[in-house]
């Protein structure tokens, strides 16, 4: 029965890993811009907030439990030690993995090792990650080396050496963790003008450290719940209640520091001013710290699995929300450049976590992590040939099913990710609206009120004076007229502000020329775009011969490009001819005064 | 209607392609690992590798088969395969869909040549279908899926051929809708049906050899022994 | 220390400086979309001209702080403050952590989001042109002498002279004299320029000072924690041994 629960969970994790795998490939194939929601105003997003800051804080259980067992000689917590250290180690691995996705040039990740910058907080963070991951791997290595696989004397020698080094390693680990947890907070000391004052704090390093200790303890608690559920272990109630008590104390310290800091900076009333930041702050501190602190302080609640589990979940999500707020949500950015994590950012986070989860389950099932003796029974059952064959078939069954799931998920992810991720970033389309007015036209295609006041009448008069033939005067600018029209306005063909748009209606032409048999009217040979004849083969008079700038084409350029080209080329000519050097410069047409009042009224009518 | 066409040629095509590639890779992986497990467990581990290679090659280029029992069936099958593979992979319109989704393109074959090949393939597929229905020995071995797949491919080839002709009586987009969605369905089905032989064929003889140690053409020898020289009377 | 003095009242908004910058630094054609950039800067636009009400045009680019936050933040030394003043970027060292973009109080460094090998991009005050003895491209291109290039100290005194000579016209501060510890680009203006910062106008404290304390505590903290942990371990272990011994002896006495 227990086997089945773990199998279902593992199937699910495999599916998530597969989805994340696709997203990672696309991220490296098409770059950060195409696959993430990051921008110049949000250089750090979900990966930094959740995977990096959250992951490191989640891993704090490793050093707290190690300190309890080795330094404070609280031997009763030893059963939790190995899984806590394993979680910390895998947590750091997932952090490094997410970081590799987030860095623009991940192949330069080793540069901080050779190019020392002791003034940079990020430099310290980089070194701490490297050193502490090494220390954690050494702390966990004995568990792996105890396995019968490593029977060779050399492994035994290493094992003995590592066991002798345990205490120095633990002390080094605690020092590195203290530095690292706090220096992640120090990262945000340099952003006083960017981070909302409710989160910007001069004691950020201390806040980060204290909350990480609480988070680490609660994570160890949650993890005990999960493994007890998956493998039908008995929940170590007494131990977890003890952890809960310590976590409550740490949470109270954290709350006191946080509120004291606000009082000291005279901001204690700021959360209640009704802004969304205030609400976020209250949710984060209330649901994520205050309520779990109260719940865990009540002995009856922390001894019941439900009470303990609830407060652990609340506390963990609250402190992770704090990391996200500090690094992403509460950072100021101009409203037009809002950030939301893209699907591939979320998928990569999910995939990395799931992969780490699978590694965790593998290690737990293979090595003696929980200190339980059932390992040997399993070994005996495997040694009989019948059960060996059975195991093999079971394994093959898993492979069959999981490979099918993985294929399906990869295909679905590949298909469902928005096409901009698969095909690269494209400019969003911006519809062009018509110019308004009569003798004076207000040209403002995207209606952002940064348009051009165009003196249509004056241009017509000037053109009439210069043109040899009065009839073609209009055609200097109105270079292409639709059938039955004399002067088709710009926006009828240049329909997008920035992107080229097609002005050819294929279905219309196909129907008009006689359905299925009409292909050969335009296409010579195959029915592909390349084989079609030019528009002017049939529409001989549609394109003006007076126009200097424009070729007759299936695609019309973006509105901005087309108009700039049309106006500026003529203005440049006239600037030298009339010796008016300011004529081709931007403010000649783009003036700050905006639309004429009459036009403004028209606009307000046409834009409900 | 054009929306449905665009979906089929965009995201759904990517889905089908991914299923196709990964599904076939999975099939190959499973077959190889299964074969290796079988070898590991077998007592008789001798394998005539040269014979296997020779048989596989002669199976791919069935020139010798022409002289054997059913020359018409062999020719039909050959025409059918050539047509399906060349028209499927080297038609300009198909390559365009590839390029817009995956960014890969390759050289296209001229349309008239592909038209001829498609006609031959349609003829071949019809003959194969008739064999399946009217030849007792083939009918006994056939499953429902064999008929479904063959009819499906036949339908796809006919619709694709007609769509490209100027005398096409059916509205172009309707025909394309049928052709595209049918094609997508087929591509998705490939890794999970017997059409997976498009990548598994080099392993077929290998697996047979491991499983039964049957000599090549062993089947017809059995029939020969049981029923005399005229196997068709079964 | 060199610098540029920007006289906002002289700028006619012709964007010749932008065009010159694009040419000199071989930048791309794309104009940034408003949803990607509020101030017009991007990895392909190292200087922009922002239109303000009343036909005022204010140029924005890297201000080249005297004590740059980006240089202090960079973990690999890719952002460097040159002795002459300009803050430059060494792409061969960058690992793409984008901490410089977070740290800058003006939000100036921009990223090559659309490239597979992305770098941080910003104005270098035409450092390579300066080394050749040329003026920065924007200063050379300005048709109205709104940009003046020279030694920062001289420009500063010139700026003060100018704003004092016309107290009715100019705002009576030189923007960039003290902002975030002072910048090489100085502004005199007849409109307030508080909005030039990323979100709020930076105060006079140089940003590196904010992290200096935390960084100076790194070594003492680590040594302190190690000593504390070792001490705790020793004390508790000794006490437990003593208690064990006493328990043994008391057991012996009762027997």
The ipTM estimated for the assembled molecules is 0.91
A131 closest CA partner among A64, A178, A176, A183? A176
Distance CA(B104)–CA(A424), nearest Å, equals 15
Q: Give whole-number Cα distances, C72 to A97, A282, C211, in Å.
A: 26, 33, 9
- Helix A121-145 crosses helix A153-164 at what angle (to 10 degrees)? 130
Whether residue A24 is predicted with pLDDT greater than 50 in this model: the reply is yes
Residues of C in Cβ contact (< 8 Å) with A582:
12, 14
| Positions of chain B with pLDDT under 50 | 231, 233-234
From B57's Cα to the closest Cα of chain A, the distance in A is 30
Class of residue C173 by CB neighbours under 10 A (exposed 0-12, middle 13-18, buried 19+): middle
Q: Do A415 and B172 touch (CB under 8 A)?
A: no
- A partners (3+ CB pairs within 8 A) are B, C
Q: Write phi, then psi, for A544 (nearest 5 degrees).
A: -75, 145
- Facing residue for A407 by CB, picked from B10, B23, B93: B23
Q: Do A104 and C94 touch (CB under 8 A)?
A: yes
For residue A109, the model assigns a pLDDT of 92
Q: Which two tokens stand for residue A512?
A: 């008009």
Residues of A in Cβ contact (< 8 Å) with B26:
403-404, 407
From A569's Cα to the closest Cα of chain C, the distance in A is 16
* Average pLDDT value over all residues in chain A: 84
pLDDT digit string, tens, across residues C114-163: 888 999 999 999 999 999 999 999 999 998 899 999 999 999 999 999 99
Q: Do B22 and A410 touch (CB under 8 A)?
A: yes
- Facing residue for C199 by CB, picked from A115, A119, A332: A332
C224 closest CA partner among A217, A62, A174? A174
Cβ–Cβ contact C73 with A under 8 A: yes
CB contact at 8 A, A319 and A57? yes
Cβ–Cβ contact C86 with A under 8 A: no
From A32's Cα to the closest Cα of chain B, the distance in A is 19
Cβ–Cβ contact C77 with A under 8 A: yes
Whether residue A1 is predicted with pLDDT greater than 60 in this model: the reply is no
Q: Do B111 and A400 touch (CB under 8 A)?
A: no
C56-C62-C68-C70 Cα dihedral, nearest 10 degrees: 130
Distance CA(C94)–CA(A126), nearest Å, equals 14
Which residues, 6 or more positions from C24, have their beta carbon under 8 angstroms from its beta carbon? C126, C129, C137
Cβ–Cβ contact C25 with A under 8 A: no
From C83's Cα to the closest Cα of chain A, the distance in A is 18
DSSP state of C114: T
pLDDT digit string, tens, across residues A517-527: 777 788 876 66
For residue A45, the model assigns a pLDDT of 93
Whether residue A410 is predicted with pLDDT greater than 90 in this model: the reply is no
From A451's Cα to the closest Cα of chain C, the distance in A is 13
Cβ–Cβ contact C75 with A under 8 A: yes
From A18's Cα to the closest Cα of chain B, the distance in A is 12
Whether residue A252 is predicted with pLDDT greater than 60 in this model: the reply is yes
Sorting pLDDT into bands at 50, 70 and 90, what band is A413? confident
Closest chain C residue to A27, measured at CA: C116
From A340's Cα to the closest Cα of chain B, the distance in A is 23
For residue C254, the model assigns a pLDDT of 54
Whether residue A434 is predicted with pLDDT greater than 60 in this model: the reply is yes
Chain A segment 425-454 residues within 8 A of C by beta carbon are: 425, 427-428, 448, 450
For residue B64, the model assigns a pLDDT of 63
Chain A segment 50-69 residues within 8 A of C by beta carbon are: 67
For residue A489, the model assigns a pLDDT of 87
Q: Give whole-number Cα distances, A446 to A432, A500, A562, C15, C83, in Å.
A: 6, 15, 14, 22, 46
Q: Give whole-number Cα distances, B112 to A214, A524, A593, B170, C120, in Å.
A: 74, 13, 64, 21, 53
For residue A604, the model assigns a pLDDT of 59
Angle of CA points A166, A171, A172, to nearest 5°? 95
Q: Which residue has the higher pLDDT, C171 or A5?
A: C171
Sorting pLDDT into bands at 50, 70 and 90, what band is A329? very high
Q: Do C103 and A582 touch (CB under 8 A)?
A: no
Cβ–Cβ contact C105 with A under 8 A: yes
For residue A57, the model assigns a pLDDT of 92
Q: Which two tokens stand for residue B16?
A: 């089908």
DSSP state of A407: H
Length of chain A measured in residues: 608
For residue B219, the model assigns a pLDDT of 65
From C168's Cα to the closest Cα of chain A, the distance in A is 23
Chain A segment 319-348 residues within 8 A of C by beta carbon are: 331-332, 334, 336-337
Cβ–Cβ contact C215 with A under 8 A: yes
Q: Write phi, then psi, for A497 (nearest 5 degrees).
A: -60, -45
Which residues, 6 or more positions from B231, have their beta carbon under 8 angstroms from its beta carbon? B69, B220, B223, B224
Cβ–Cβ contact C232 with A under 8 A: yes
Residue carrying the six token digits 């700021």: A270
Whether residue A418 is predicted with pLDDT greater than 80 in this model: the reply is no
pLDDT digit string, tens, across residues A478-495: 888 777 777 788 888 888
- Find the chain B residues whose C-beta atoms sit closer than 8 A to any C-beta of A: 2, 10-12, 14-16, 18-19, 22-23, 26, 29-30, 33-34, 37, 92-93, 96, 101, 103, 111, 164, 166-172, 191
A111 closest CA partner among C93, C235, B18? C93
For residue A497, the tally of other CB atoms under 10 A from its CB is 20
From C51's Cα to the closest Cα of chain A, the distance in A is 7
Distance CA(A67)–CA(A71), nearest Å, equals 5
Q: Do A108 and C93 touch (CB under 8 A)?
A: yes
- Facing residue for B22 by CB, picked from A400, A411, A520: A411
Chains C and B, touching by 3 or more CB pairs within 8 angstroms: no
Which residues, 6 or more positions from A154, have their beta carbon under 8 angstroms from its beta carbon? none
For residue A470, the model assigns a pLDDT of 63
Distance CA(A534)–CA(B97), nearest Å, equals 24
Residues of A in Cβ contact (< 8 Å) with B93:
527-528
For residue A213, the model assigns a pLDDT of 94
Q: Which residue has the higher pLDDT, A464 or A189?
A: A189
From C223's Cα to the closest Cα of chain A, the distance in A is 8
Q: Which two tokens stand for residue C153?
A: 């100290």
Q: Which two tokens stand for residue A460?
A: 């017509």
For residue B68, the model assigns a pLDDT of 62
Q: Do B166 and A507 touch (CB under 8 A)?
A: no
Whether residue C75 is predicted with pLDDT greater than 70 in this model: the reply is yes
DSSP state of A374: T
For residue A428, the model assigns a pLDDT of 67
Cβ–Cβ contact A576 with C under 8 A: no
H or E segment and range at residue A60: none
Which residues, 6 or more positions from B80, have their beta carbon under 8 angstroms from its beta carbon? B121, B124, B125, B128
Closest chain A residue to C73, measured at CA: A120
Cβ–Cβ contact C243 with A under 8 A: no
- Facing residue for B11 by CB, picked from A396, A407, A415: A415
* Average pLDDT value over all residues in chain B: 82
For residue A443, the model assigns a pLDDT of 86
Closest chain C residue to A74, measured at CA: C236
- Facing residue for A516 by CB, picked from B33, B101, B172: B172
Q: Do A193 and C198 touch (CB under 8 A)?
A: yes
Taking the model in full, what pTM does it have?
A: 0.81
Residues of A in Cβ contact (< 8 Å) with B11:
415-416, 419
CB contact at 8 A, A479 and A547? yes
């Amino acid at each position: 029965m227990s086997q089945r629960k773990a199998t279902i969970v593992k199937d699910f994790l495999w599916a998530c890993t597969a989805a994340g795998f696709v997203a990672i490939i696309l991220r490296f194939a098409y770059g950060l811009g195409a696959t993430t929601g990051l921008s110049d105003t949000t250089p750090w997003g979900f990966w930094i907030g959740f995977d990096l800051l959250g992951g490191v804080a989640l891993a704090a259980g490793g050093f707290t439990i190690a300190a309890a067992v080795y330094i404070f000689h609280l031997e009763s917590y030893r059963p939790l030690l190995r899984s806590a250290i394993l979680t910390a180690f895998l947590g750091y691995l997932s952090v490094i993995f997410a970081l590799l996705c987030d860095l623009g040039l991940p192949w330069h990740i080793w540069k901080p090792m050779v190019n020392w910058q002791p003034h940079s907080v990020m430099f310290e963070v980089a070194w701490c990650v490297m050193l502490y991951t090494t220390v954690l791997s050494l702390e966990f290595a004995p568990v792996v080396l105890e396995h019968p696989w490593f029977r060779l004397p050399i492994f035994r020698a290493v094992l003995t050496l590592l066991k002798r080094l345990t205490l120095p390693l633990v002390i080094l680990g605690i020092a590195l963790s203290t530095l690292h947890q706090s220096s992640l907070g120090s990262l945000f000391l340099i952003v006083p003008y960017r981070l909302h004052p409710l989160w910007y704090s001069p004691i950020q390093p201390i806040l980060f450290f204290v909350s990480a200790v609480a988070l680490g303890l609660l994570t160890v608690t949650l993890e005990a719940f999960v493994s007890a559920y998956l493998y039908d272990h008995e929940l170590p109630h007494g131990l977890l209640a003890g952890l809960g008590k310590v976590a409550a104390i740490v949470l109270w310290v954290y709350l006191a520091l946080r509120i004291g800091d606000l009082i000291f900076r005279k901001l204690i009333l700021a959360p209640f001013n009704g802004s969304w930041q205030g609400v976020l702050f209250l949710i984060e501190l209330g649901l994520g710290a205050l309520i779990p602190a109260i719940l865990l302080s009540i002995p009856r609640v922390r001894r019941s699995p439900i009470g303990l589990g609830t407060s652990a979940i609340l506390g963990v999500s609250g402190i992770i929300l704090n990391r996200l707020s500090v690094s992403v949500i509460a950072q100021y950015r101009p409203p037009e450049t809002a950030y939301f994590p893209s699907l591939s950012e979320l998928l990569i986070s999910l995939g990395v976590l799931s992969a780490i989860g699978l590694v965790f389950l593998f290690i737990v099932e293979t090595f003696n992590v929980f200190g339980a003796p059932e390992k040997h029974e399993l070994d005996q059952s495997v040694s009989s040939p019948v059960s060996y064959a059975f195991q093999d078939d079971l394994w093959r069954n898993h492979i069959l099913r999981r490979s099918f799931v993985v294929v399906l998920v990869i295909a679905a992810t590949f298909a469902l990710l928005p096409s901009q991720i698969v095909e690269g970033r494209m400019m969003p389309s911006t519809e062009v609206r018509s110019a308004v007015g009569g003798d004076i036209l207000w040209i403002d295609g995207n209606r952002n009120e940064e348009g051009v006041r165009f003196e249509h009448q004056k241009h017509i008069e000037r053109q009439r004076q210069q043109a040899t033939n009065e009839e073609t005067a209009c055609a200097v600018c109105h270079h292409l007229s639709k059938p039955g029209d004399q002067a088709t306005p710009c926006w009828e063909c240049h329909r997008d502000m920035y992107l080229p748009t097609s002005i050819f209606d294929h279905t219309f032409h196909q129907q008009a020329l006689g359905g299925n048999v009409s292909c050969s009217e335009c296409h010579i040979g195959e029915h592909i775009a390349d084989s079609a004849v030019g528009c002017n083969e049939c529409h001989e008079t549609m394109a003006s011969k007076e126009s200097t700038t424009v070729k007759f084409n299936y695609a019309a350029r973006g509105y901005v490009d087309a108009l700039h080209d049309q106006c500026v080329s003529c203005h440049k000519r006239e600037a030298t001819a009339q010796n008016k050097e300011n004529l081709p410069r931007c403010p000649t047409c783009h003036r700050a005064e905006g639309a004429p009042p009459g036009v403004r009224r028209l606009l307000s009518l046409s834009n409900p | 209607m054009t929306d449905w066409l665009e979906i089929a040629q965009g995201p759904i095509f990517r889905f089908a392609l991914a299923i196709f590639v990964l599904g076939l890779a999975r099939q190959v992986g499973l077959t190889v690992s299964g074969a290796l497990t079988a070898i590991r467990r077998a007592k008789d581990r001798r394998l005539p590798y040269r014979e296997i290679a020779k048989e596989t090659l002669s199976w791919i280029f069935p020139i010798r088969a022409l002289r054997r029992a059913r020359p018409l069936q062999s020719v039909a099958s050959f025409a059918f395969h050539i047509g399906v593979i060349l028209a499927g992979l080297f038609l300009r319109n198909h390559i365009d869909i590839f390029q817009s989704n995956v960014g890969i393109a390759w050289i296209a074959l001229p349309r008239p040549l592909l038209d001829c090949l498609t006609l031959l393939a349609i003829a071949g597929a019809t003959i194969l279908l008739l064999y399946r229905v009217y030849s007792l020995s083939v009918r006994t071995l056939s499953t429902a899926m064999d008929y479904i797949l063959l009819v499906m491919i036949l339908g796809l080839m006919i619709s694709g051929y007609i769509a490209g002709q100027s005398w096409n009586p059916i509205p172009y987009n309707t025909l394309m809708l049928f052709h595209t969605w049918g094609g997508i369905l087929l591509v998705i089905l490939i890794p999970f049906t017997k059409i997976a032989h498009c990548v598994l064929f080099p392993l077929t003889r290998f697996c047979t050899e491991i499983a039964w140690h049957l000599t090549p053409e062993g089947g017809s020898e059995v029939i020969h022994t049981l029923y005399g020289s005229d196997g068709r009377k079964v | 220390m060199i610098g540029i003095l920007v006289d906002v009242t002289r700028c006619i908004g012709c964007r010749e400086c932008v065009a010159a910058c694009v040419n000199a630094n071989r930048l791309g054609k794309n104009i940034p979309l408003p949803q990607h950039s509020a101030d017009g800067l991007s990895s392909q636009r190292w200087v922009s001209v922002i239109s303000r009400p009343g036909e005022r045009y204010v140029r924005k680019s890297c201000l080249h702080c005297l004590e740059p936050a980006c240089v202090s933040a960079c973990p690999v030394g890719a952002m460097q403050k040159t002795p002459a003043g300009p803050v430059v970027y060494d792409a061969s060292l960058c690992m793409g952590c984008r901490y410089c973009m977070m740290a800058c109080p003006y939000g100036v460094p921009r990223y090559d989001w659309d490239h597979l090998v992305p770098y941080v991009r910003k104005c270098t005050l035409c450092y390579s042109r300066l080394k050749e003895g040329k003026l920065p491209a924007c200063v050379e291109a300005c048709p109205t002498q709104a940009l003046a290039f020279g030694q920062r100290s001289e420009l500063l005194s010139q700026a003060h002279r100018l704003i004092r000579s016309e107290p009715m016209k100019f705002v009576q501060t030189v923007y960039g004299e003290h902002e975030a510890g002072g910048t090489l680009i100085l502004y005199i203006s007849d409109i307030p320029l508080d909005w030039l910062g990323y979100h709020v106008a930076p105060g006079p404290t140089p940003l590196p000072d904010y992290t200096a304390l935390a960084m100076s505590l790194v070594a003492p903290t680590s040594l302190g924690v190690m000593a504390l942990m070792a001490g705790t371990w020793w004390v508790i272990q000794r006490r437990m041994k003593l208690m064990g011994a006493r328990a043994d002896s008391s057991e012996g006495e009762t027997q």
